[in-house]
Amino acid sequence: QQQVKQSPQSLIVQKGGISIINCAYENTAFDYFPWYQQFPGKGPALLIAIRPDVSEKKEGRFTISFNKSAKQFSLHIMDSQPGDSATYFCAASEYGNKLVFGAGTILRVKS
Amino acid sequence: ETGVTQSPTHLIKTRGQQVTLRCSSQSGHNTVSWYQQALGQGPQFIFQYYREEENGRGNFPPRFSGLQFPNYSSELNVNALELDDSALYLCASSFGGSRLEQYFGPGTRLTVT
């Protein structure tokens, strides 16, 4: 059973544009929602994370929007750059225990 | 501050063999989690160790086992290797308690032939 559904599978954005990746979850016990960035041959790197008591969190060009009633959350990358080209994973967990990952989104930013 | 390190970087094993992968957690972290990432997929949780005790296990068979040492480093052991065990094995460390962030190492690429 896939507990975190991520879309789109791949995304092409022009340099300077906004990249938007969406995730939906089923388990209402999840209380921590991080996003990871992974480059080929590397481990995932923590980008930004949110708890369900806030609806939005911004760190630099990265923003998480969270909709608890819809059980959905999304990552927005503003002013996307070619260096942002990577695979992005959303995840969810209950109190820091096992992370349940989405299937990933391959982002390509065209210069 | 030292990040999460893993060894070896990659290795090739034959079906039926056994393998041990190693992970050194980030300085100050007492919790280690192991994940398996098949090609083109998201990481799948194997198990977590907190203060040398197993603290949760994913849907993996008993031939996947682990250890955590007093210095919080960890090992993942896989017995009776199968072709489907070919994957990137990731270790993540975290502080535990109220701090939830998990930081991943570079992974070990295991190929089973």
The letter for the amino acid at A20 is: I
B56 touches chain A (CB under 8 A): yes
Residue A2 has pLDDT above 80, yes or no: no
Each residue of A71-84: pLDDT tens digit?
A: 999 999 999 999 99
Please indicate whether, in this complex, the C-beta atoms of B104 and A97 are within 8 angstroms of each other.
no
B43 touches chain A (CB under 8 A): yes
Question: Measured between alpha carbons, how far is B85 from B76 in angstroms, rounded to an integer?
Answer: 13
A30 touches chain B (CB under 8 A): no
Calculate the dihedral angle through the C-alpha atoms of A7, A12, A18, A19, rounding to the nearest 10 degrees: 30
What is the pLDDT, as a whole number, of residue B95? 86
Residue A52 has pLDDT above 80, yes or no: yes
A20 touches chain B (CB under 8 A): no
The residue written with tokens 């052991």 in the block is: B77
Residue A1 has pLDDT above 90, yes or no: no
A28 touches chain B (CB under 8 A): no
What is the pLDDT, as a whole number, of residue A97? 79
Do the Cβ atoms of B47 and B63 come closer than 8 Å? no
Cα B88 versus chain centre, distance: 10
Each residue of B50-106: pLDDT tens digit?
A: 989 998 999 999 999 999 999 999 999 999 999 999 999 999 999 876 568 999 999
Each residue of B5-46: pLDDT tens digit?
A: 999 999 999 999 999 999 999 888 899 999 999 999 999 999
- For residue A106 the two structure tokens come to 């391959």
Each residue of A54-107: pLDDT tens digit?
A: 999 999 999 999 999 999 999 999 999 999 999 999 999 987 779 999 999 999
Q: Once rounded to an integer, what is the mean pLDDT over residues A6-18?
A: 98
Measured between CB atoms, which of A46, A97, A98 is closest to B101? A46
Please indicate whether, in this complex, the C-beta atoms of B101 and A42 are within 8 angstroms of each other.
no
B12 Cβ contact partners less than 8 Å away, ≥ 6 residues apart: B110, B111, B112, B113
CA distances (Å), origin B32, targets A100, A109, B25:
16, 34, 7
Kind plus residue range of the DSSP H or E element containing B11: strand B10-13
Tell me the chain A residues in contact with residue B5 when contact means C-beta distances shorter than 8 Å: none
What is the pLDDT, as a whole number, of residue A71? 96
Q: Which of B109, B90, B106 is nearest to B43 (CA)?
A: B90
